[in-house]
């Protein structure tokens, strides 16, 4: 083409810009295309049911379960107040708050328990030679091969009055009568810690895996005691892993259903059991939906606050 030589410089530049813009558009399209399946699944199985729950929570319960299509925010009122059957006056009722409190207490205790037990395990694996680590990681994931329900049932068999622990202790003469372990808070806690321990170990291991162990020597060399090395070097560097592990344990532990039901005997209601109850024999779907949404809101707010706190702490180091 004869014209090529006469194309002025600015035109070439603008063509280059256009080509770059086109490529950026293409990249965006590719990204969207790759994201689509994931977004689809989240949309269909996450957001859609959540919307249903949101809508249901503002309706009235049907007599035999289900909902009546009448707008009402009674479900949310019911969470904090009791409505008098005769004159409709509201009196404060802390029963459900207590259930929330108990669940949070149990979940936080579970989180602390898994952290205390899980951190040394993660550290142990990370300190193994490379070729041994896969074996230990495999061992950690082994429990997932069996259904949680079955594992929880087997715990029930171990801790019940005629279970393995009590029989062994009685046989060696340490105790004369079985210790009541099943259907106690301790049993529920043990079950939850056992169930969620891998979720604490794996993220902490991931953050320790890249850990440069010569930093420990550097710390000791610079007059730090073992405790100080742990506090000033190991903890801050593995903080992201610890935070991830805590979130991964705390949230499912809050909504735990099977473990409190089987090992706690359902004697004390937890959030999960409360919600399940409303959709089952309680026949109050709006209240169940409202309780689930309140739980979600509380967790979200707690997470955002802790994230913000973590971020400002990071900034403080810089």
Partner 1 sequence: MIDVKNVTKRFGEGQAAVTALEDVSLTIPEGSFFTLLGPSGCGKTTLLRLIAGFELPSEGEIALDGESIGHLAPNNRPVNTVFQNYALFPHMSVARNVGFGLEMLKRPKAEIDSTITEMLDLVQLGEFATRRVDQLSGGQQQRVALARALAPRPKVLLLDEPLSALDLKLRKGMQSELKRLQHETGITFVFVTHDQGEALAMSDRIAVMSAGSVRQVGTPEEIYTAPKSRFVADFIGDTNIVNATLLGFDGDAAKIRFGEGKPLTIHTASTLLEPGPVHVALRPETIRVVEESAETALLRGEVVDSTYFGAGSQMLVRLEDGVSVHVQVSTPRPVGSRVGLECDTSMLHVLED
Q: Which two tokens stand for residue 159?
A: 């801790």
In order of 198, 199, 201, 237, the CA distances from 193 in angstroms are 9, 10, 12, 25
Instruction: Please report how close the Cβ of residue 54 comes to partner 1 at its closest, in angstroms.
Output: 41
Map residues 279-318 to x or -, x wherever contact with partner 1 holds by CB under 8 A: --------------------------------------xx
Place of tokens 């030679």: 129
CB of 147 or CB of 225, closer to partner 1: 225
Report which of 184, 146, 185, 180 is spatially closest to residue 163, judged by C-alpha positions.
180
Q: Which two tokens stand for residue 92?
A: 């404060």
Instruction: Please report how close the Cβ of residue 233 comes to partner 1 at its closest, in angstroms.
Output: 6
CB of 158 or CB of 206, closer to partner 1: 206
Q: Among residues 55, 140, 181, 237, which is the contact residue for partner 1, using CB under 8 A?
A: 237
User: E strand or H helix at 60, and its extent?
Assistant: strand 60-61
Q: Which two tokens stand for residue 73?
A: 């925010």
| Of 61-69, 169-177, 183-191, 233-241: span binding partner 1 (CB under 8 A) | 233-241
In order of 93, 94, 132, 204, the CA distances from 99 in angstroms are 12, 9, 44, 31
CA atoms within 13 A on the CB side of 181: 21
Instruction: Please report how close the Cβ of residue 316 comes to partner 1 at its closest, in angstroms.
Output: 10
Q: Among residues 31, 232, 267, 308, which is the contact residue for partner 1, using CB under 8 A?
A: 232
Instruction: Please report how close the Cβ of residue 226 comes to partner 1 at its closest, in angstroms.
Output: 9
Map residues 199-228 to x or -, x wherever contact with partner 1 holds by CB under 8 A: -------------x-xx-xxxxxxxxx--x
Pairwise CA distance, residues 188 & 110, whole Å: 9
CB of 48 or CB of 213, closer to partner 1: 213
What are the helix and strand counts (H, E) for the chain?
A: 14, 4
Q: Among residues 106, 182, 201, 233, which is the contact residue for partner 1, using CB under 8 A?
A: 233
Q: Does 11 bind partner 1 (CB under 8 A)?
A: no
Pairwise CA distance, residues 227 & 235, whole Å: 11
Pairwise CA distance, residues 79 & 157, whole Å: 36
Instruction: Please report how close the Cβ of residue 310 comes to partner 1 at its closest, in angstroms.
Output: 13
| Of 44-52, 190-198, 230-238, 281-289: span binding partner 1 (CB under 8 A) | 230-238
Instruction: Please report how close the Cβ of residue 309 comes to partner 1 at its closest, in angstroms.
Output: 17
Q: Among residues 46, 120, 236, 310, which is the contact residue for partner 1, using CB under 8 A?
A: 236
CB of 177 or CB of 221, closer to partner 1: 221
Q: Which two tokens stand for residue 203?
A: 């993220």
Report which of 317, 131, 141, 292 is spatially closest to residue 239, judged by C-alpha positions.
317
**Contact in structure between 197 and 122 (CB atoms under 8 Å):** no
**Contact in structure between 96 and 291 (CB atoms under 8 Å):** yes
Q: How many residues interact with partner 1 (rule CB under 8 A)?
A: 19
Map residues 154-193 to x or -, x wherever contact with partner 1 holds by CB under 8 A: ----------------------------------------
Residues binding partner 1 (CB under 8 A)? 212, 214-215, 217-225, 228, 232-233, 236-237, 317-318
């Amino acid at each position: 083409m004869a014209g090529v030589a006469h194309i002025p410089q600015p035109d070439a530049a603008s063509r280059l810009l256009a080509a770059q813009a086109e490529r950026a558009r293409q990249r965006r399209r590719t990204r969207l295309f790759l994201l689509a399946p994931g977004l689809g699944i989240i949309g269909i199985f996450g957001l859609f049911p959540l919307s249903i729950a949101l809508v249901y929570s503002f309706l009235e319960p049907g007599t035999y379960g289900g909902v009546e299509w009448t707008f009402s925010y009674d479900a949310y009122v019911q969470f904090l107040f009791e409505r008098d059957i005769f004159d409709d006056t509201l009196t404060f009722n802390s029963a459900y708050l207590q259930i929330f409190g108990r669940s949070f207490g149990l979940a936080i205790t579970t989180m602390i328990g898994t952290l205390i037990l899980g951190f040394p395990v993660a550290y142990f694996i990370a300190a193994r030679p490379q070729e041994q680590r896969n074996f230990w990681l495999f061992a950690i994931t082994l429990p997932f091969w069996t259904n949680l329900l079955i594992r929880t049932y087997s715990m029930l068999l171990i801790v019940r009055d005629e279970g393995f622990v009590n029989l062994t202790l009685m046989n060696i003469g340490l105790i004369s009568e079985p210790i009541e372990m099943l259907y106690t808070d301790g049993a529920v806690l043990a079950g939850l810690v056992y169930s969620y321990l891998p979720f604490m170990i794996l993220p902490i291991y991931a953050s320790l895996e890249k850990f440069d162990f010569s930093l420990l020597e550097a710390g000791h060399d610079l007059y730090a005691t073992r405790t100080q090395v742990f506090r000033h070097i190991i903890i801050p560097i593995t903080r992201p892993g610890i935070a991830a592990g805590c979130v991964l344990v705390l949230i499912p532990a809050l909504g735990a259903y099977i473990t409190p039901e089987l090992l706690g005997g359902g004697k004390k209601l937890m959030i999960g059991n409360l919600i399940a109850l409303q959709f089952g024999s309680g026949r109050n779907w709006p209240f169940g939906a409202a309780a689930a949404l309140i739980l979600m809101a509380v967790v979200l707010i707690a997470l955002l606050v802790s994230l913000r706190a973590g971020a400002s702490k990071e900034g403080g180091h810089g």
